[in-house]
C-alpha cells in the first residue's frame, strides 16, 4: 500500500516535471527519425559502397531499441544522483517507503518506459519481422537493461561529472551489441559476456538456447549490479 | 602562474573523474569500428569522427563540471580568490581542449594510416574545442540539474548541426562557411583531404576572433550569474 502510494507520488512528480515528461516522450521520435533517415541512407550507402543495409535491418532494429533504455536509464540515474546530492534520499530512508521502496519506484520508470518503447519502436519502424513471443521477451529484457543501466550508472558515479563520464562510456554498449558484425574474435567474446549482445542474438537467431542464455545473462547482471553496491 | 595552477588542478580533476580512461576505451572502439570500413572511405570517416566526438568533449562535460562546482560552493568561493572569472573560464576551456587534442590524435594515429597535416589538425581541434566548450558554458547557465542541461542541449545543438547538414547538401552556399561549426569542420576535414593555405589561414583567423568574442560573452554571463548571485 505504501509502495503503491509512493509510486503514485513518483508518477505525479514525472507528470509535473516538464523535463521528465520531455524525456519520457522523446523516445517516440527516435523510430520516426530513424525511419525517415533510412529512406535516404539505404540507397546512399548502396550507391557509394555497394552494401545493402536492408540485409542488416535486424542490427538496425537492435540499435534503435537500445537507445530507449540508454536514454531513460541515464535520466533516472541522474535523477537519483541529483536526489542523493540534495540529500532527499536521507529523508526518504526514514519514511515508511524506505530506501528499497524509493529505489524500486525510481527504477520502475526506465523499466516500464523501455518495455513500452521497445514494442512501439518495433511497430513504428516495421523493418524486421519478430514473432509475438520474441517481441515480448525482448521488450522485458530491454526493460531489465533499463534498470541495469540506471542502477549501474547511479552506483558507479559518485557525482554528476562522473555520471556524465560513465554515460559517455556507456555508448560502448551499443557497439558491444553489434559485436557479431565485426570480424574481431576477441571482441565478439567480450560482447557475448554482456546482456546487450544477447538482445541482438534474440532478434537474429531466436532459438531455445539463445533464449536461455539471454535470460541467464540478464539475471546474473541484475544480481551482480544490485549486490555490488 | 595562477592560471597554470588552475589548469593543473583541472586536468588532475578530469583524470580522477575518468575522462582519460573513457577516451582510451572509446579510441579502442573506434579502432575496431573504423577498421571495418573500406580504405577509400577512411579519409571521410576519420575527420567526421574527430569533429563529432573529441572536438565536442567540452560541450558535453562542461555542464556537469559547472553544476558540480556550484553544488560544492567552488563558484561562490571564486569571488574571494585571486583567480579572475576569465582565468577560471580559460583554465576550464584549455583543460578540456587538452583532452580533445589527445583523444583526437590518438584516434587519428590508430585508425588513419596515410599522411595528414598535423598542424592543421591540431589547430582545427583546438579552435573547435574552445568554441564548443565556451558554448557549453552558455547552455549550462540557468540549469540546476544534468537532466535540465540535457534538455537545453537539444535546441542549442540543433543551432550548430542544422547549418552543417545544409552545408553538406549545398557546399556552394558560401555564407555557411562563416558558421563556426562549418569553419571548424572544414579545418579538420582539410587536415586529411588537403586545404589551400589561404583558406586555412582564413578559417584560423576567423575562428580565433569568434572564440575571443564568445569568451567575452561567456565572461559577462558568468560574472552576472555568479558574482551577482544569479543561477549559473
Predicted confidence (pLDDT) per residue in A19-41, tens digit: 677 777 888 888 999 999 888 88
pLDDT, mean of residues B51-67: 87
B165-194: burial string, b at 16+ Cβ within 10 Å, e else:
eebeeeeeeeebbebbbbbbbbbbbbbbee
Domain range summary for chain A, segments of one domain joined by +: 2-228
Residue among B26, B173, B175 nearest B111 (CA): B26
Cα distances (angstroms) measured from residue A170 to each of A150, A166, B9: 11, 6, 26
Q: Are B151 and A23 within 8 A, CB to CB?
A: yes
Q: Which three cell numbers stand for residue A207?
A: 532459438
List chain A residues with CB under 8 Å of B65: 161
Question: Phi/psi at A183 (nearest 5 deg)?
Answer: -90, 45
Those residues with Cβ within 8 angstroms of residue B118's Cβ, 6 or more apart along the chain or in another chain: B191
**Is A81 within 8 Å of B65 when comparing Cβ atoms?**
no
- Structural domains of chain B, count: 1
CA atoms of B204 and B182, how far apart (whole Å): 12
Among B18, B25, B32, the residue with its CB nearest the CB of A182 is B32
Beta carbons within 8 Å of A73's beta carbon, 6+ residues apart:
A110, A114, A145, A146, A147, A148, A149, A150, A153
B11 contacts in chain A (CB < 8 Å): none
How would you class A226 by CB atoms within 10 Å of its CB: exposed for 0-12, middle for 13-18, buried for 19 or more? middle
Q: According to the model, what pLDDT value does residue A10 have?
A: 62
pLDDT confidence band for A70 (50 / 70 / 90): very high
Helix, strand, coil distribution of chain B in percent, nearest 5? 85, 0, 15
Q: What is the pLDDT of residue A129?
A: 93
Say how far residue B231 (Cα) sits from the centre of its chain.
Answer: 23
User: Cα B208 vs. chain centroid, distance in angstroms?
Assistant: 13
Predicted confidence at residue B31, as pLDDT, reads 86
Least confident span in A24-38, A135-149, A201-215 = A24-38
The cell for B14 is 578530469
Torsion of CA A104, A106, A108, A111, to 10 degrees: -120
Query: Residue B25: its chain A contacts at CB < 8 A?
Result: 169, 172
Chain A residues 14-53 with a CB less than 8 Å from chain B: 19-20, 22-23, 48-49
Average predicted confidence (pLDDT) for chain A: 87
Residue A78 near residue A107, CB atoms below 8 Å: no
- Report whether pLDDT(A136) > 80: yes
pLDDT of amino acid B211? 96
Query: B147: pLDDT confidence band, cut at 50, 70 and 90?
Result: confident
Count CB-CB contacts under 10 A for residue A66. Answer: 23
As a whole number, mean pLDDT of residues A147-170 equals 89
Residues 6+ apart with CB under 8 A from A213: A198, A201
pLDDT of residue A15: 58
Mean pLDDT for chain B overall: 88
Q: For chain A, first and last CA: distance in Å?
A: 27
Query: Which residues make Cβ contacts (< 8 Å) with residue B194, sequence separation at least 6?
Result: B117
| Whether the predicted model's global pTM rises above the 0.90 cut | no
Compare CB distances from A165 to B17, B33, B35 and report the shortest one's residue.
B17
φ/ψ (deg, to 5) at B170? -130, 75
Q: What is the pLDDT of residues A118-133, one digit of tens each?
A: 999 999 999 999 999 9
| pLDDT tens-digit readout, B164-198 | 888 887 888 888 888 999 999 999 999 999 999 99
CB pair distance less than 8 Å for A169 and B19 = no
The nearest CA of chain B is from the CA of A138 a distance in Å of: 26
In this predicted structure, what is the pLDDT of residue A12? 63
Residue of A229, A60, A217, A88 whose CA lies nearest to A153: A229
Instruction: Identify the domain containing residue B55 by its residue range.
Output: 2-227
Average pLDDT, integer, range A79-88: 82
Q: Of the candidates B14, B181, B170, B30, which has an alpha carbon nearest to the alpha carbon of residue B99?
A: B14
**Helix H segments across B53-145?**
57-72, 74-77, 85-111, 118-140
Is the model's pLDDT at B104 over the cut of 90?
yes
| Lowest mean per-residue pLDDT among A42-46, B121-125, B206-210 | A42-46
Comparing CB atoms, the residue among B32, B63, B148 nearest residue A187 is B32
Q: What percent of chain A has pLDDT over 70?
A: 91
Cβ distance of B146 and A78 shorter than 8 Å? yes
Question: What is the Cα A87 distance to its own chain's centre?
Answer: 27
Structure confidence at residue A7 (pLDDT): 62
Which of 112-131 (A) contact B at CB < 8 A?
Answer: none
Residue B227 has pLDDT above 60, yes or no: no
How many other C-beta atoms can be found within 10 angstroms of the C-beta atom of residue A72?
Answer: 27
**Which one has a higher pLDDT value, A19 or A110?**
A110
More confident residue, B90 or B39: B90
Whether residue A164 and residue B29 make contact (CB cut-off 8 A), yes or no, is no
List the grid coordinates of A49.
559502397
Q: How confident is the model at residue A148 (pLDDT cuts 50, 70, 90)?
A: very high
Residue B232 lies in a domain: no
CA angle A139, A145, A151 (to 5 degrees): 145
Lowest-confidence pick of A84-93, A193-202, B25-34: A84-93
Q: Closest-CA residue in chain B for A168? A: B22
Amino acid at each position: 500500500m505504501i509502495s503503491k502510494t509512493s509510486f503514485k507520488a513518483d508518477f505525479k512528480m514525472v507528470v509535473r516535471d516538464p523535463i521528465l515528461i520531455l524525456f519520457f516522450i522523446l523516445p517516440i521520435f527516435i523510430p520516426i527519425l530513424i525511419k525517415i533517415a533510412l529512406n535516404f541512407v539505404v540507397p546512399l550507402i548502396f550507391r557509394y559502397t555497394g552494401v545493402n543495409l536492408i540485409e542488416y535491418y535486424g542490427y538496425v532494429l537492435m540499435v534503435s531499441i537500445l537507445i530507449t533504455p540508454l536514454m531513460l536509464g541515464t535520466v533516472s540515474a541522474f535523477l537519483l544522483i541529483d536526489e542523493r546530492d540534495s540529500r532527499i534520499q536521507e529523508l526518504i530512508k526514514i519514511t515508511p517507503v524506505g530506501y528499497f521502496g524509493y529505489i524500486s519506484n525510481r527504477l520502475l520508470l526506465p523499466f516500464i518506459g523501455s518495455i513500452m518503447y521497445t514494442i512501439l519502436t518495433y511497430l513504428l519502424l516495421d523493418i524486421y519481422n519478430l514473432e509475438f513471443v520474441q517481441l515480448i521477451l525482448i521488450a522485458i529484457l530491454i526493460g531489465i537493461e533499463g534498470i541495469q543501466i540506471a542502477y549501474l550508472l547511479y552506483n558507479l558515479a559518485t557525482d554528476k561529472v562522473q555520471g556524465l563520464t560513465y554515460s559517455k562510456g556507456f555508448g560502448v554498449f551499443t557497439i558491444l551489441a553489434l559485436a557479431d558484425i565485426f570480424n574481431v574474435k576477441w571482441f565478439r567474446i567480450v560482447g557475448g559476456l554482456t546482456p546487450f549482445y544477447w538482445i541482438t542474438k534474440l532478434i537474429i537467431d531466436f532459438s531455445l538456447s539463445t533464449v536461455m542464455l539471454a535470460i541467464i545473462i540478464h539475471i546474473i547482471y541484475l544480481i551482480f549490479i544490485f549486490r555490488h553496491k | 602562474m595562477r592560471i597554470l595552477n588552475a589548469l593543473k588542478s583541472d586536468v588532475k580533476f578530469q583524470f580522477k573523474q575518468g575522462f582519460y580512461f573513457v577516451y582510451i576505451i572509446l579510441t579502442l572502439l573506434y579502432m575496431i569500428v573504423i577498421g571495418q570500413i573500406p580504405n577509400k572511405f577512411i579519409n571521410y570517416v576519420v575527420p567526421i569522427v574527430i569533429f563529432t566526438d573529441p572536438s565536442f568533449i567540452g560541450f558535453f562535460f562542461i555542464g556537469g563540471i559547472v553544476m558540480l562546482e556550484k553544488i560544492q560552493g567552488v563558484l561562490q568561493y571564486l569571488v574571494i580568490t585571486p583567480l579572475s572569472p576569465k582565468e577560471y573560464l580559460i583554465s576550464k576551456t584549455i583543460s578540456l581542449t587538452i583532452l580533445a587534442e589527445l583523444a583526437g590524435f590518438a584516434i587519428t594515429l590508430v585508425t588513419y594510416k596515410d599522411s595528414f597535416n598535423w598542424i592543421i589538425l591540431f589547430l582545427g581541434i583546438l579552435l573547435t574545442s574552445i568554441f564548443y566548450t565556451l558554448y557549453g558554458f552558455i547552455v549550462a547557465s540557468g540549469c540546476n540539474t544534468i537532466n535540465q542541461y540535457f534538455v537545453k542541449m537539444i535546441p542549442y545543438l540543433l543551432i550548430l548541426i542544422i547549418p552543417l547538414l545544409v552545408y553538406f547538401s549545398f557546399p556552394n552556399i558560401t555564407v555557411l562557411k562563416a558558421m563556426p561549426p562549418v569553419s571548424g569542420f572544414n579545418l579538420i576535414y582539410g587536415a586529411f583531404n588537403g586545404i589551400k593555405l589561404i583558406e586555412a589561414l582564413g578559417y584560423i583567423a576567423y575562428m580565433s576572433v569568434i572564440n575571443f568574442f564568445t569568451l567575452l560573452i561567456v565572461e559577462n554571463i558568468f560574472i552576472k550569474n555568479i558574482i551577482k548571485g544569479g543561477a549559473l
